[in-house]
Amino acid sequence: MIQIQQLALILDALPDPAFIISKSGQYLAVFGGKDGRYYHDGSSLVGLKLTEVLNSDKAEYFQSLIDQALASRSLIIEEYELCIKDVKGIPEAGPSQPIWFEGRIQALDFLVEGEPVVLWVASNISQRHELEIQLRQLSDTDQLTGLFNRRRLVQDLSALFDNFSYHKLPSSVLILDLDNLKAVNDQLGHHVGDEIMRAIADTCKQQFRKTDNAYRYGGDEFVITLASVEQPQAISFAEHLLGCFFEALQQHAINGIYATVSIGVASFEAGDKSYEDALRRADAALYQAKRNGKNQVIVKTA
């Protein structure tokens, strides 16, 4: 038969910290989680309220999870981030970087000083979270250029169109295509063509605001999204980009052979049913630019 003292030692040896927290948000006890590589020492939290330990947003969030666990009587599983600035009641000894946790919150079938309580077990999942981020980036990124891929484009355009539809926030779309890339590949080699596409990507990154994004749409075709940009500004930016692209691609010219860029521009309009309407207009503008002699910007409206 396990004795009470032995049970206390077992609880203290738990790899993850386990808290007993009351309905009113008071830390009543903490067990385990002594490995300083993964956790701060939480013993100083005992006797404090959530509002004394956490900033107001985090305290309110934690309290809502406790209320949910007590009301449902079922296990609540939640992922959340904590860093030193979020937590006021612990010493700074321990991990210095923000930590991602998986919290498992379960109502207990007894009262402490007349209050319902929960068991809150917090597992450090920072490594798993970082791996998930890396996997998402890989699934969203074009390997050659480092730009986003078509899969991410669909996701981002959908979000931009929702903001346009519900909040009237404008956005514009540029489609650009490399002129004469086949001649470059045939006469200079595909490695030069790859360098040209990377030069396009690098130029975009140098000229963009934080809210602008570029995507490799397929082959030598790219899409640029300009959030909160109306058509006149989009045209000006496209013309500026055209000059930047020309300058960058001239550096890759060999024996007078080089690529240029044609750009089609469109913006979301009141009659659009989806982002695809603007994308189709930009695509039509692109091919008009190529028919007109290439290395130019054309805009299409509905």
Domains of the chain and any CATH numbers? 4-131 (3.30.450.20), 141-299 (3.30.70.270)
| Nearest-5° Cα angle at 274, 296 to 297 | 5
Query: Active-site residue 220, yes or no?
Result: yes
Mean confidence (pLDDT) of the chain: 90
Quote the pLDDT of residue 96: 61
Indicate if the pLDDT at residue 132 is higher than 90.
no
CB within 8 Å of 273: residues ≥ 6 apart:
none
- Kindly report, residue by residue over 181-217, the tens digit of the pLDDT: 988 888 889 889 999 999 999 999 999 998 999 999 9
- Alpha-carbon distance of 247 to 109, in angstroms, equals 72
Indicate if the pLDDT at residue 137 is higher than 60.
yes
Backbone angles phi, psi at 145, to 5 degrees: -100, -20
Q: How confident is the model at residue 90 (pLDDT cuts 50, 70, 90)?
A: low
- The DSSP bridge pattern shows strands 260-267 and 297-299 to be parallel
Least confident of 7-16, 133-142, 189-198: 133-142
Residue 224 to residues 161, 232, 256, 281, 285: CA-CA distances in angstroms? 14, 16, 29, 14, 14
Distance of CA 130 to the CA centre of its chain: 12
Quote the pLDDT of residue 34: 82
Q: Are 49 and 89 a contacting pair, CB within 8 Å?
A: no
Q: Are 88 and 52 a contacting pair, CB within 8 Å?
A: yes
| Nearest-5° Cα angle at 296, 291 to 297 | 100
pTM tops 0.85: no
Backbone angles phi, psi at 212, to 5 degrees: -85, 145
Least confident of 92-96, 165-169, 182-186: 92-96
Residue 54 CB neighbour total at 10 angstroms: 22
Catalytic residue among 220, 272, 277, 283, which?
220
Quote the pLDDT of residue 50: 94
- Alpha-carbon distance of 52 to 54, in angstroms, equals 6
Quote the pLDDT of residue 89: 55
State the first-to-last Cα distance of the chain, in angstroms, to the nearest integer: 80
Q: What is the mean pLDDT of the segment spanning 162-175?
A: 95
Q: What is the mean pLDDT of the segment spanning 80-97?
A: 69
Indicate if the pLDDT at residue 92 is higher than 80.
no
- Alpha-carbon distance of 154 to 133, in angstroms, equals 19
Q: What is the mean pLDDT of the segment spanning 116-127?
A: 93
Q: Are 97 and 81 a contacting pair, CB within 8 Å?
A: no
Quote the pLDDT of residue 131: 82
Quote the pLDDT of residue 91: 56
Q: What is the mean pLDDT of the segment spanning 31-47?
A: 82
Q: 53 by DSSP, 3-state: which? A: helix
Quote the pLDDT of residue 169: 95
Indicate if the pLDDT at residue 261 is higher than 60.
yes
